[in-house]
Amino acid sequence: MSTPTGSTPPDPRRNLLLGALPEDEYRRLQPALEPVEVDVRQQLYERGKPIEHLWFPVDAVLSLLATVEGEAAVEVATVGYEGMGGLPAFLGTAESPHDTFGQIAGTAVRLPTGELRRFLSGDGALHDVLHRYTLATMIQLSQNVACNRLHTTEERCARWLLQTRDRVGADEFSLTQEFLAQMLGVRRGTVSLTAGVLQQAGVIRYTRGRITVLDADALHEAACDCYGIVQSEYRRVAAAPEV
Ligand SMILES: [Zn+2]
């Protein structure tokens, strides 16, 4: 973990789940929230080990990996400012089903799992927000299955880059070839070719693991519809339900 110097940490309520809480409820939760800088490859959860904290990324991105005996790890989901790491703890499981690492360095706030139970026992909004988030996560996961089967590597690469840009809140970010390969479920050589196509078209620049989005509109055009579908699901989580 590292502590940034000379910069103001981003507002924790950039996280859509925390941002969706009414002001008074957020103020009650706030003393239990600890701001932490997440580093790339920092392990936050280990498969089969207790979930000690819930992590709410502010501008960091987390990567959830599934491992198959004797095979390379495969990324099953990423979590950014729209969500939370440690969802299984909300659903009543004490142990993490996945290994989880920092994918993009940045700020997150964490809440001890025991504190979550205390806050959920009231009749506040947190419970409803996390229910809606659970549904949005299921939709994201099922959309990813369809995306992996039906959409080209170029379309999926553009989708992930757009999503990462949203999460980081900047046109430029570091994303290693290794992580991009895990996100797309392809070999690193394929990542180079795919990013090369987008680079040749003037849509992105990709050098030494640093990505710059040069033309966001063109990146939108290159991405599959899954980007918009998943984005609107997460917007729904943040919005108060219609009465
Ligand atoms: Zn897709």
pLDDT in tens, the chain (243 residues): 444 455 677 899 999 999 999 999 999 999 999 999 999 999 999 999 999 999 999 999 999 988 777 776 778 889 999 999 999 999 999 999 999 999 999 999 999 999 998 888 767 899 999 999 999 999 999 999 999 899 999 999 999 999 999 999 999 999 888 888 888 888 888 988 999 999 999 999 998 889 999 999 999 999 999 999 999 999 888 886 554
Distance 229 CA to ligand 1 centre (A): 9
- Tens digits of residue pLDDT in 159-202: 999 999 999 999 999 988 888 888 888 888 898 899 999 999 99
Distance 176 CA to ligand 1 centre (A): 21
Integer Cα distance of 2 and 191 in angstroms: 29
In the chain, which ranges are continuous DSSP H helix? 16-19, 23-29, 87-90, 113-120, 126-150, 153-168, 177-184, 188-200, 216-222, 226-238
Integer Cα distance of 199 and 211 in angstroms: 10
Distance 237 CA to ligand 1 centre (A): 21
Distance 47 CA to ligand 1 centre (A): 28
Distance 117 CA to ligand 1 centre (A): 36
Predicted local distance difference test score (pLDDT) of residue 6 = 55
Domains of the chain: 12-147 (2.60.120.10), 152-223 (1.10.10.10)
Predicted local distance difference test score (pLDDT) of residue 232 = 92
Radius of gyration of the chain (CA): 18
Q: How far is CA 72 from CA 65, 79, 154, 186, in A?
A: 10, 20, 22, 11
Integer Cα distance of 147 and 143 in angstroms: 6
Distance 78 CA to ligand 1 centre (A): 15
Distance 177 CA to ligand 1 centre (A): 20
Place of tokens 């004797």: 70
Predicted local distance difference test score (pLDDT) of residue 240 = 64
Q: Among residues 89, 18, 102, which one has the least CA distance to residue 56?
A: 18
Integer Cα distance of 185 and 240 in angstroms: 35
Predicted local distance difference test score (pLDDT) of residue 2 = 46
Q: Using the CB atoms, write b or e for 76-92: b if 16+ within 10 Å.
A: bbbbbbbbbbbbebbee
Read off φ and ψ for residue 96, nearest 5 degrees: -75, 130
